[in-house]
């Protein structure tokens, strides 16, 4: 290369240097019109966590969060503001209290940001979408108060927007999609998890987008698939996701007549029915087909083997019958195959997998279990990462041990023997191991488990507890025949090396014995612990107080004794504490964390008074301290428990969510409903998925005395109230009628007196009532509600009368007929006459009535006597 330069070249370079500034000093400056448009947009939003704090006039808008500008024109081209959410441990839905909310002023963005091509507002908490825009004038940029006018059609037609993502705004409902037809430039549209129930013309409107390539309308409450429509005007569509809707129809005709090349097609959980039409072969370039969880029937078609570029085929949880066609073994590009949970039968052999060299995920479980007829020397052409399998017979398929890359193994409804070879195989797994519900002849003693998620519950396994590697985050060993001490599991420092990631531990319903050990300091990551229904003994160790993340602790049905250690007050995240059916003693602690939602201490030996500090537990929805020796009065301040006063069940969610990272960019969410056994309506029942609907106070079978505080009846959200088997006195306040949600009420075997309050008959949801064995008097209030219970609800009250009791009330008994009538009206007037003391006037009135209503003569005479 000639490095010499001519004088002309040097002169030209100097001229360029003076004309063109140094590129290193160039900075992108936001267009002032775009800047004001973004400020107008911000002004219309609610930003509770100040996500848009960088959006200020002091900064270049090209440096604002979520804003991207063109590197030459400096015009805003992209606005990317998805909300990042991580659900807390005890909620079914994501916490979006920090996300953007309010209304999306979409037209403002599209008209005023003239060069916007990419808009992502997904996973926020927007509540509405508006279609007005700011007048394009200098005044509107100098004032944040935006004037709104109807949106001119030509304004949006000039939009350059190609990518629009409004998905996962779960509280957003859009009644009309008419505005879509004006954004003709759209190539990508994602409206998934938005309520489009009222938009019945959705198909015609999205077909007006000639450049649309990707359409995602999953879980939009769509119902009309227009199955009779012959043609839909999609010309560029490649990806169509319509899963999780309620179409209740066959695959539509228009789908197979599209003049475009569909690569991805998803209709899972959409109530589709009928057989698979052969017209699907029109999409020869299909790479992804998901029809899971529908009512599709007939055989799995043999012609599916003709999709040579198909990579994912998901047909699980349908009503397909017959055998798995061997033609599927010709899908040489297939990476995922799911035919599980159908009505399939027949034999599965190596012929079904001849060319599946790229297969990584295989689901063939529960059809019922298929007959496996593999050559014992067969080595599969694939290396699976995920396998879900059911098989008939006692032997594990030999080819399973050839899979060196398997990370997720699910075996369902099978019976087999698990020996050393099997445990060595699964101990190498670092992902998911789910053998729940199988019948396994195996011993876990000295087995080392390494998977991130392990579920070996209800399998019949024996031996002592296994050892865990630091990788394990979730382990469920419940409902087995495991025995011995828990020390090997919790105190083995050789495998732990001081590092643990365990979040969920369930060893309940086994035969474990010994103490709880004092090794809890090694397990500070624990959020859920269930050691109930074993033979554990001794004190609750103080080291449990080091579990600062603990949200749910179950120690029920053991032989634990002594007082609860004060160190547990350090478990400030505790939401559920279940220690029922032990031998725990002392006073009920006054330091129980105020955030607890469920406290179950029944069937122990607690004594002393109910601490008034319990009134500060504003989130409490379940208080069960029955069957102890607690004495004293019921604190009146219990009426201050907010959660019981309003019964907002959406805030009471008691499901355990665990996040398991499978990679740097992908994680798996497991939602496990917590459960408690509670006594309601006179019997013990287990509550799991509906636990958060149960609001309960049970103080029965104690030594409580005094009156039932009127403030207790202000807990209008209460579902069940049980104060039976105590020494309570006084009357039942008429305020009990405020408890409109009450379904179960038990005041039996106390010393309550007075009449049954008339307001009790207004509790329309009441389905269980027990007022037996008290000192109640008078007539049971009339009305279908209280007469609908049997006499056992009232027996043992000697001075109580009226239906349903066989004891009739005397004519002098007060009537509580809630409907009223001539007799009750007269008696009311009659008693007023007696109280006045004017005997002469009274006799005169009686004489007048005698003359006018001769038929009541005998009744008046008896009353007078």
**Do 542 and 564 touch, CB atoms closer than 8 A?**
no
Percent pLDDT > 90 in the chain is 67
Considering the domain boundaries, does residue 221 fall inside one?
no
Q: Are residues 685 and 775 in the same domain?
A: yes
pLDDT of residue 662: 66
Q: Are residues 744 and 662 in the same domain?
A: yes
Q: Which two tokens stand for residue 101?
A: 């909310």
pLDDT of residue 690: 83
Looking at 101, 134, 159, the residue that finishes a domain is 159
pLDDT of residue 498: 61
597-634 residue pLDDT tens: 999 999 999 999 999 999 999 889 999 999 999 999 99
Q: Are residues 843 and 702 in the same domain?
A: no
Q: How many structural domains compose the chain?
A: 3
Q: Read off the pLDDT band of 843 (50, 70, 90).
A: very low
Judged against a pLDDT cut of 50, whether residue 854 lies above it is answered with no
Q: Are residues 834 and 742 in the same domain?
A: no
pLDDT of residue 144: 31
Judged against a pLDDT cut of 80, whether residue 6 lies above it is answered with no
Q: Read off the pLDDT band of 535 (50, 70, 90).
A: very high
Average pLDDT, the chain: 85
Judged against a pLDDT cut of 90, whether residue 665 lies above it is answered with no
Q: Determine which of 743-752, 833-842, 851-860 has the lowest per-residue pLDDT on average.
A: 851-860
The answer, yes or no, to whether the previous bond of 561 is cis (omega within 30 of 0) is no
The label of the residue with tokens 């029809």 reads: 291
Q: How far is CA 738 from CA 209, 429, 647, 733, 761, in A?
A: 57, 57, 13, 10, 11
User: What does the pLDDT average to over 762-782?
Assistant: 94
Considering the domain boundaries, does residue 610 fall inside one?
yes
Q: How many residues does the chain have?
A: 865
Q: Are residues 778 and 847 in the same domain?
A: no
Judged against a pLDDT cut of 50, whether residue 32 lies above it is answered with yes
Torsion angle of alpha carbons 409, 414, 416, 418, nearest 10°?
30
Return the sign of the alpha-carbon dihedral for residues 101, 103, 107, 112.
Answer: negative
74-131 residue pLDDT tens: 999 999 999 987 665 555 567 788 999 999 988 888 888 989 999 999 999 999 988 7
- CATH code, domain carrying 75: 3.80.10
Return the sign of the alpha-carbon dihedral for residues 507, 511, 515, 517.
Answer: negative
The H or E element spanning position 845 is helix 839-852
For residue 158, which of 203, 115, 95 has the smallest C-alpha distance?
Answer: 115
163: how many CB neighbours lie within 10 A of its CB? 18
Strand pairing class (467-468; 504-506):
unpaired
764: how many CB neighbours lie within 10 A of its CB? 10
Looking at 137, 159, 181, the residue that finishes a domain is 159
User: What does the pLDDT average to over 297-309?
Assistant: 96
Q: Read off the pLDDT band of 132 (50, 70, 90).
A: low
Considering the domain boundaries, does residue 715 fall inside one?
yes
Q: Are residues 744 and 597 in the same domain?
A: yes
Q: Are residues 857 and 791 in the same domain?
A: no
Q: Are residues 635 and 607 in the same domain?
A: yes
**Do 559 and 583 touch, CB atoms closer than 8 A?**
yes
End-to-end CA distance of the chain: 136
Q: Are residues 626 and 684 in the same domain?
A: yes
Q: How far is CA 575 from CA 508, 547, 602, in A?
A: 19, 13, 17
Look up the domain containing 829 and give its range: 822-864
Q: Read off the pLDDT band of 657 (50, 70, 90).
A: confident
Considering the domain boundaries, does residue 378 fall inside one?
no
User: What does the pLDDT average to over 179-186?
Assistant: 89
Considering the domain boundaries, does residue 509 fall inside one?
no
Q: Are residues 774 and 849 in the same domain?
A: no
Q: Are residues 845 and 760 in the same domain?
A: no
pLDDT of residue 834: 39
Considering the domain boundaries, does residue 527 fall inside one?
no
- CATH code, domain carrying 781: 3.80.10.10
**Do 206 and 189 touch, CB atoms closer than 8 A?**
yes
Per-position b or e across 381-399, b if 16+ CB within 10 A of its CB: ebebbbbbbbbeeeebbeb
Considering the domain boundaries, does residue 704 fall inside one?
yes
Looking at 814, 839, 854, the residue that finishes a domain is 814
State the Cα angle at 680 between 674 and 685, rounded to 5°: 50
Q: Are residues 807 and 846 in the same domain?
A: no
Considering the domain boundaries, does residue 493 fall inside one?
no
């Amino acid at each position: 290369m000639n490095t010499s330069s001519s004088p002309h070249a040097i002169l030209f370079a100097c001229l360029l240097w003076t004309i063109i500034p140094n590129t290193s000093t160039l900075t992108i400056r936001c267009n002032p019109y775009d800047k004001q448009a973004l400020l107008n947009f911000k002004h219309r939003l609610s930003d509770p966590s100040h996500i848009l704090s960088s959006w200020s006039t002091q900064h270049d808008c090209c440096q604002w969060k979520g804003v991207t500008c063109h590197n030459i024109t400096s015009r805003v081209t992209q606005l990317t503001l998805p909300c990042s959410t991580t659900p807390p441990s005890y909620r079914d839905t994501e916490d979006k209290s920090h996300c953007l909310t309010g209304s999306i002023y979409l037209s403002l963005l599209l008209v005023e940001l003239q060069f916007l091509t990419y808009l992502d507002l997904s996973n926020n908490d927007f509540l509405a979408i508006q279609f007005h825009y700011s007048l394009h004038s200098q005044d509107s940029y100098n004032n944040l108060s935006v004037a709104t006018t109807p949106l001119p059609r030509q304004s949006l037609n000039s939009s350059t927007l190609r990518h629009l993502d409004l998905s996962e705004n779960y509280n957003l409902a859009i009644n009309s999609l008419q505005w879509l037809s004006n954004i003709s430039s759209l190539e990508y549209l994602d409206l998934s998890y938005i309520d489009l129930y009222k938009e019945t013309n959705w198909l015609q409107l999205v077909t007006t987008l000639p450049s649309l390539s990707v359409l995602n309308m999953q879980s939009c409450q769509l119902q009309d698939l227009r199955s009779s429509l012959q043609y839909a005007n999609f010309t560029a569509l490649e990806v169509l996701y319509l899963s999780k809707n309620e179409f209740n129809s066959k695959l539509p005709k228009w789908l197979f007549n599209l003049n475009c090349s569909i690569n991805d097609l998803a209709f899972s959980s959409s109530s589709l029915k009928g057989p698979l039409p052969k017209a699907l072969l029109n999409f020869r370039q299909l790479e992804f087909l998901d029809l899971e969880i529908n009512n599709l029937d007939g055989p799995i078609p043999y012609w599916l083997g003709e999709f040579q570029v198909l990579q994912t085929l998901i047909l699980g949880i349908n009503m397909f019958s017959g055998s798995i066609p061997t033609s599927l073994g010709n899908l040489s590009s297939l990476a995922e195959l799911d035919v599980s949970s159908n009505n399939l039968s027949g034999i599965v052999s190596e012929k079904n997998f001849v060319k599946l060299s790229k297969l990584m995920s295989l689901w063939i479980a529960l059809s019922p279990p298929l007959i496996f007829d593999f050559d014992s020397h067969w080595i599969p052409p694939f290396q699976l990462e995920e396998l879900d399998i059911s098989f008939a017979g006692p032997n594990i398929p030999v080819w399973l041990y050839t899979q060196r890359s398997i990370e997720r193994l699910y075996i369902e409804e099978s019976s087999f023997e698990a020996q050393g070879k099997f445990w060595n195989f699964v101990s190498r797994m670092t992902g998911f191991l789910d053998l729940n519900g199988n019948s396994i002849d195996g011993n876990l003693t000295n087995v080392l488990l390494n998977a991130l998620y392990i579920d070996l519950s209800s399998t019949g396994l024996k031996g002592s507890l296994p050892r865990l590697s630091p990788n394990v985050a979730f382990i469920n060993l419940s409902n087995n025949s495991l025995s011995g001490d828990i020390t090997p599991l919790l105190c083995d420092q050789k495998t732990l090396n001081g590092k643990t990631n365990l979040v969920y531990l369930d060893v309940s319903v086994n035969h474990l014995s010994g103490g709880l050990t004092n090794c809890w300091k090694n397990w500070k990551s624990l959020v859920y612990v269930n050691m109930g229904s074993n033979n554990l003994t001794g004190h609750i160790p103080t080291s449990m107080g080091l579990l600062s993340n603990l949200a749910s602790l179950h120690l029920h049905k053991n032989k634990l004794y002594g007082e609860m250690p004060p160190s547990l007050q350090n478990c400030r995240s505790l939401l559920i504490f279940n220690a029922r059916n032990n031998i725990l003693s002392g006073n009920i602690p006054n330091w129980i964390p105020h955030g607890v939602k469920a406290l179950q201490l029944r069937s122990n030996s607690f004594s002393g008074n109910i601490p008034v500090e319990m009134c500060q537990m504003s989130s409490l929805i379940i208080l069960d301290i029955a069957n102890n020796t607690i004495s004293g009065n019921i604190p009146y301040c219990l009426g201050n428990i907010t959660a019981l006063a309003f019964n907002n069940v959406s805030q009471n969610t008691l499901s355990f969510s665990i996040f398991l990272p499978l990679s740097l960019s992908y994680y798996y969410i497991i939602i496990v409903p917590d459960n408690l056994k509670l006594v309601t309506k006179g019997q013990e029942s287990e509550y799991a998925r509906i636990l958060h609907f149960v609001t309960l106070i049970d103080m029965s079978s104690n030594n409580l005395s005094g009156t039932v505080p009127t403030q207790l009846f202000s807990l209008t959200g209460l579902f069940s109230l049980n104060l039976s088997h105590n020494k309570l006195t006084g009357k039942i306040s008429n305020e009990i009628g405020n408890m409109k949600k009450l379904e179960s009420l038990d005041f039996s075997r106390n010393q309550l007196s007075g009449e049954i309050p008339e307001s009790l008959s207004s509790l329309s949801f009441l389905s269980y009532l027990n007022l037996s064995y008290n000192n109640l008097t008078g007539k049971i209030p009339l009305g279908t509600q209280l007469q609908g219970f049997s006499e056992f609800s009232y027996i043992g009250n000697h001075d109580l009368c009226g239906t349903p009791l066989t004891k009739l009330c005397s004519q002098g008994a007060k009537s509580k007929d809630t409907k009223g009538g001539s007799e009750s009206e007269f008696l009311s007037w009659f008693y007023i006459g007696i109280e006045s003391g004017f005997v002469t006037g009274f006799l005169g009135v009686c004489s007048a009535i005698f003359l006018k209503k001769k038929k009541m003569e005998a009744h008046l005479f008896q009353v007078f006597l």
